[in-house]
Amino acid sequence: MKVYIKTYGCQMNERDSNALGAALLQRGYELTDNEKEADILLFNTCSVREQAELKAIGKVGILKKLKKVRPHILIGMLGCMAQSKGNTLLEKLPHLDFVIGTDQLQKLPDIIEMELAKREQLSFTETNTDISQSMAQHLETNSVSDFIAIMRGCDMFCSYCIVPYVRGREKSREIAEIADEAKKLADKGIKEIMLLGQNVSAFGLEQNSKTRPSESPFADLLREINSIKGIERVRFISPHPFFFNDKLINTIAECEKVCNNIHLPLQSGSNRILKLMNRRYDSAMYMEIVKKLKKIVPDITFSTDVIVAFPGETDEDFNCTRNIMNEVGFDNAYIFKYSPREGTPAAKYQDQIPQHIKEERNQILLADLKERTTEHNKLMEDRIFKILVEGPSQRNPERWCGRTTNNKVTVFDYNQSLKTGDIIEVHIDRSSSMTLFGSILNH
Ligand code: 5AD
Ligand code: SF4
């Protein structure tokens, strides 16, 4: 029986879909990329912005026709939106067979068997604090990198964000269990590990305290992964600035495999808005982390998440965001237009901002970002960097590509001795706002 899985949203959803795919293969199902030939169609959904929800609902909506022609197919919605809208989805989409929320995903293979035996609409959205049976399986891959989920859920309750409601309380895994997963991936040839969580810098901390902790179990985890043979690069998303303390900063500097590219969500540069967002830091605290890291980690680059047009954001607030973004000089930024999420405090705030201002602010930040990255990439010209080879470049498969440790995509000529997973030295000849172009040295 063939299963098609479509994933919306963040890397955590990608990781979940990957683990579910591996579990289904083990049970004898086949995976397919072609939805037309699938017997079971699964949609792993996202709730973080309205657009993502509408896309998945629209997609499953049009499958009604398919089910008329092929009544034997099963359709399931999984993940965040299944968690928050479970029964409403089943009512709204009568051809939908089941919904499985974020804490019940590991039951998917059993639920499919149940559905095949007895077809009726089923909903599994109970919450669960046990993470021990977390989904640690991985599909085989040709890629050089893979993800590991180190924690799930979030306790921060930023006022705009639905994640704490749909993914529940923060639950961290044991360091030994994560290291074991990383070793298994290294044995399969994975060179780069991306550690995943909604709030990785709070990994292993008891309960989020009001004061900033001086300890950092996450730093201990980084050291552990740094020591695994075969793993060459370690990255992580996403840390929260509140838990980004000196211990973590120094650990990043000391662990040679921990990459010099940090994704540090800013969300806003205005202290007034940061307070309304319940972010627990101000722009000075954010800049202090950036400055410390810049000082001790060579060639470090930063990326971020920013929300424009949060309710009540004035031109002055927006300019604070613009200024701090230019001051940090991000090399990448995911800029989101504020999207009200039902059930979150900010959705009820006065002064929701009109769409055209959201667009305008978004465009301004994108233009600034392009200027900054073009400048930074220019500074990398005529220097030599270590590149982890990923394979043929998407644009021109005759050339190959890889990344620097600070996460710049670099394109170079293919030569026959190149293999995916090699680490090579490349001289950067020229650059654009998105890409470095170079020549391989002695390989
Ligand atoms: N509207 C817009 N962006 C949001 N994000 C989270 N919630 C919202 C929302 N309601 C963004 C944040 C977060 C990223 C994953 O998505 O910037 O870091
Ligand atoms: Fe959402 Fe804030 Fe948690 Fe990130 S830290 S997942 S933005 S609540």
Domains recognised in the chain with CATH numbers:
2-124 (3.40.50.12160), 384-441 (2.40.50.140)
Going from the Cα of 338 to the center of ligand 1, the distance in angstroms, rounded, reads 7
pTM recorded for the entire structure: 0.96
Interhelix angle 355-379/315-328, rounded to 10 degrees, is 20
CA 228, 229, 234: angle at the middle one, nearest 5? 55
Interhelix angle 217-226/175-187, rounded to 10 degrees, is 30
Mutation test residue for ligand 2: of 102, 169, 196, 240, the one with most atoms within 8 Å of CB: 240
Q: Which ligand is nearest to the CA of 208?
A: 2
The pLDDT of residue 134 is: 67
- What b/e string do you get for 170-203 counting C-beta neighbours within 10 Å, with b at 16 or more? bbbbebeebbebbeebbeeebbbbbbbbbbbbbb
User: What residue owns the CA closest to ligand 1's atom 2?
Assistant: 338
User: What residue owns the CA closest to ligand 1's atom 14?
Assistant: 305
Going from the Cα of 218 to the center of ligand 2, the distance in angstroms, rounded, reads 17
pLDDT truncated to tens, each residue of the chain (443 aa)? Answer: 999 999 999 999 999 999 999 999 999 999 999 999 999 999 999 999 999 999 999 999 999 999 999 999 999 999 999 999 999 999 999 999 999 999 999 999 999 999 999 889 999 999 887 776 668 999 999 999 999 999 999 999 999 999 999 999 999 999 999 999 999 999 999 999 999 999 999 999 977 667 888 899 999 999 999 999 999 999 999 999 999 999 999 999 999 999 999 999 999 999 999 999 999 999 999 999 999 999 999 999 999 999 999 999 999 999 999 999 999 999 999 999 999 999 999 999 999 999 999 999 999 999 999 999 999 999 999 999 999 999 999 888 889 999 999 999 999 999 989 999 999 999 999 999 999 999 999 76
The pLDDT of residue 206 is: 76
Going from the Cα of 64 to the center of ligand 1, the distance in angstroms, rounded, reads 31
Query: What are the CA-CA distances from residue 284 to residues 271, 305, 316, 422 (Å)?
Result: 9, 17, 17, 40
Contact 184, 139 (CB under 8 A): no
Report the chain's mean pLDDT, rounded to a whole number.
95
Q: Which residues contact 427 (CB under 8 A, 6 or more apart)?
A: 382, 383, 384, 438, 439, 441
Q: Is the CB of 365 under 6 A from ligand 2?
A: no
Phi then psi for residue 333, to 5 deg, are -150, 135
Determine the distance from the C-alpha atom of residue 305 to the mean position of all C-alpha atoms in its chain, rounded to a whole number: 11
